[in-house]
Structure 1
């Protein structure tokens, strides 16, 4: 991971004082499981360039954490792509410039607009090029992107989604750093930490003066905060700030005479509490609605003693399934050890509850046959299939319908049409790990194909707030076995 900062023109070498890094010394530190180095490739009065280079150690990153036992650290790009993890290295290395606090002798240079160029990468973004450009161009930058050509031995794609991005323009060093500090996680759409109210403070602090007026403001907020309650809290805080600013402006325009006259008036001055408590009902997250819909379906099934939750994650749905009357066994099947450990902690809290079935966590995958799952009552894939490459999906479907033959199979997956309601680009998908997202018609077509020559029927329904044109955000299919011979 790298970030280069280049200044040209008069006083270009002053950026070294703003960075608080001596061009003749190598900055070399170990931060959070990575080696962080900053070196100057040029240090001339009219041409100064510094490069921040980060070399992560995937083993050191997970030592002492639940990830220590998760092999996925070796097979993903998260530690190698510029993302929120990279931003956590920017803060300690470039914190002086980011916060605009150099030595007193150089404070006047904080507001100086240099001819700057910043290049960073590799960026693994699901956003199309024109959306990436729309994030930087309104800020006054020229944008250039480079992609690598890739050569597969099979038909998949011939251009990498990974890009190296260069932005250039006249700007203060602090402002440009603040902007990429917020925009890098927006591009990557991945967080290496739990998103909470601290993220709101980060946006407000480093987005001050530019984020609220940006044409892509809504996209940035959605990809930064993700969850409706946090987005609502952010919007409320911004509205409160605006109200307070307005109130302060109105008060400051009154002269002493106006204030005196108002004090003598028979009508008292009405003070409006701009922090009035919000009385709207709480927002129910889509994930919660999915769980409720699945639990309702399982509760209505005549055969529901044995339930298998594939891709169980941290076990939230599995716990709900164990609370359904008539369910005697719940298998929480999950390949990630990190998620398994969290599920184990969740299930441990159920000890002593006589009315609940405690799920059994187990390692498993849809890519190989497991004798335990044959002829069970219910198999559930909640938001799982879209994470599977389409070329491998037929194998999974064959395993489910031909090998396992459940009485009921429940699958949920995103409705791509509904992305319009989220103001997403037509090429954009909801999560970086999604391999595809289907329209309602495409999903129904696939379901029809899957049960050809197989003794199953199916019904499709939607989950979440309904749009007249685009339907609901999640689509759910319930397959029922009708008996007969498998083919």
Structure 2
């Protein structure tokens, strides 16, 4: 089993041999460690100022692997324990070896070259025999969203007999400009995902490993559900736990990092919405699209609120909200005030009819534009609360976020983001159609040129005024 990682550090004014510092492995000294069923070796086929390549070779003893394994072999296939592809193809065995060999590098630490560890560098990775349940196109689906250029060539069953077709293995080459820590974590997760198998028992500790290795990239990956499902050996309860934790990470607005020493924008938004509800004197309230329940937790502190309904289209989000709020441990009176309902904002739900107020905090931008009329109808006609409090990002303010590339939204699930004029035009049209009055408020510090980071619309039913 074999893998190479190479770089030339072009454009960084550093000798390519500094790659050894990043990997914490001296190019002049081959190293080896014991792993399950064998040993893993690191050596450098080349290490010059111009080019450096580190090779990982994993030697697996099938008999040693069987002796070290837990669990019972499949009935009727005892020979399969000893005669298989594990010594020759990349798998979870190689992923575990990478984790042991390069643990410090995977954490992004390098005391000798800290600036290099934090820098995206040109990398190329070669895995000559990678089992892939899904084919070459599936490899691209996993790696291309992470910034890699993918060349996955199917390996023929027998080069001498082409009519037999391709095997389930690919010869994989990845090229890209990434931090070494990110590249190693990508491999650590994706190798067992592509193989769709693990050589050891998968339990709750694997959820921690997945979330840790996937920090900063897995939550926004378009295939995160499939990756989690395969990595966790198709155990649904583990997958649900991982996705809940990834949802928490993904739920934080990616670019909404306010200046230091100021209150978090997310906290300020919740506080502003809670203040508006108190101003209205609302006692029967629904938080539509409650997510992990941050606003609900804030509102529960107010003893004047009689009933809170937390809704979300995602059952997983509702489970996460209950856990965040420690619902099962709440006093009886608190639990009686709080209800959780699975519901979609674009469908009429009579369980939400006639409330004092409905909140849509950072929800509307997650709805596809063609579904906005359905949202308006379900909220303003079918539910028809006394008031609606709606917040959404102000797109004009995005230029103030240094970490947000031009033209990108604040969150990967946003379908659009409105300017102040666009939001006010839409809100006034909805208010006129459903006989509501509307006013607009700022959330967060108002920039004299681009306005506040978040905009708020307060709708009040006209006959109630």
Q: TM-score range by the shorter chain?
A: 0.5 to 0.7
Who is 2:58 aligned against? 21
Who is 2:462 aligned against? 482
Q: Is the 8 A contact 1:311 1:332 kept in 2?
A: yes
Q: Give, in angstroms, the shift of residue 93 of structure 1.
A: 4.5
Who is 1:433 aligned against? 413
Identify if the C-alpha distance between structure 1 residues 327 and 186 changes in structure 2 by more than 3 Å, giving closer, same or farther: closer
Q: Quick one: distance in 2 between partners of 1:429 and 1:422?
A: 11
SS state at 1:410 partner: strand
Q: Quick one: distance in 2 between partners of 1:401 and 1:38?
A: 61
Q: Quick one: distance in 2 between partners of 1:230 and 1:452?
A: 35
Q: Give, in angstroms, the shift of residue 344 of structure 1.
A: 3.0
Q: Give, in angstroms, the shift of residue 337 of structure 1.
A: 2.7
1:67-466 equivalences under 5 Å are 92-95=96-99, 98-99=102-103, 116-117=124-125, 121-122=140-141, 144=149, 166-167=174-175, 177-181=180-184, 186=216, 190=220, 283-302=262-281, 304-324=282-302, 326-345=304-323, 346=325, 347-351=327-331, 358-423=337-402, 424-466=404-446
Confirm or deny that 1:467 pairs with 2:447. yes
Q: Give, in angstroms, the shift of residue 180 of structure 1.
A: 2.4
Q: Is the 8 A contact 1:123 1:188 kept in 2?
A: no
SS state at 1:392 partner: helix
Unaligned stretches of 5+ in structure 2?
9-43, 70-83, 106-120, 128-138, 152-171, 187-213, 225-248
Q: Give, in angstroms, the shift of residue 396 of structure 1.
A: 0.9
Q: Give, in angstroms, the shift of residue 379 of structure 1.
A: 0.5
Q: Quick one: distance in 1 between partners of 2:300 and 2:329?
A: 13
Identify if the C-alpha distance between structure 1 residues 331 and 24 changes in structure 2 by more than 3 Å, giving closer, same or farther: same
SS state at 2:406 partner: coil
Q: Give, in angstroms, the shift of residue 350 of structure 1.
A: 3.4
Identify if the C-alpha distance between structure 1 residues 40 and 440 changes in structure 2 by more than 3 Å, giving closer, same or farther: farther
RMSD: 5.0
Moved more, 381-390 or 336-345: 336-345
Unaligned stretches of 5+ in structure 1?
31-36, 42-50, 55-88, 102-112, 133-142, 147-163, 170-174, 193-221, 233-279
Q: Give, in angstroms, the shift of residue 357 of structure 1.
A: 6.9
Q: Quick one: distance in 2 between partners of 1:114 and 1:447?
A: 48
Q: Is the 8 A contact 2:311 2:341 kept in 1?
A: yes
Q: Quick one: distance in 2 between partners of 1:463 and 1:382?
A: 12
Q: Quick one: distance in 2 between partners of 1:165 and 1:429?
A: 31
Describe the superposition over 1:361-412 as per-residue Cα deviations: whole angstroms up to 9, x where unpaired: 1222223222122222100011111111112121111111121111100111
Q: Give, in angstroms, the shift of residue 176 of structure 1.
A: 6.8
Q: Give, in angstroms, the shift of residue 449 of structure 1.
A: 2.0
